[in-house]
Amino acid sequence: MIKTIYNVNYRKLLVQLKRAREERGLTQAEAARLVEMTQSTLSKCENGDRRIDIIELMRFAEAYEKDIEYFLPEDLIRKR
């Protein structure tokens, strides 16, 4: 069984997570304050060292002013 963090779709989510933060012009420390976690935890989330749950993803989406679909791979969105 392959761990979720190594799944190609999860890796795409991580790319989008970092991109959204950068598009908002936030440092990791600034973003961490918005989502109420430490900068270290946020860094681990972006690098795939810590798994992101759905509630955290919703907080990231709100902080980065993105729809949650922004973080999902396009091929998953089209299947809906």
The pLDDT score that the predictor gives to residue 77 is 63
Global pTM value: 0.85
The pLDDT score that the predictor gives to residue 43 is 98
Burial 32-63 (b: 16+ CB within 10 A, else e): bebbebeeebbbebbebebebeeebbebbbeb
Residue extents of the structural domains in the chain: 4-70
CATH number for the 4-70 domain, one of 3.40.50.20, 3.40.190.10, 1.10.260.40, 3.20.20.70? 1.10.260.40
Segment 7-54, tens digit of pLDDT: 888 999 999 999 999 999 999 999 999 999 999 999 999 999 999 999
The pLDDT score that the predictor gives to residue 61 is 98
Q: What is the mean pLDDT of residues 55-75?
A: 93
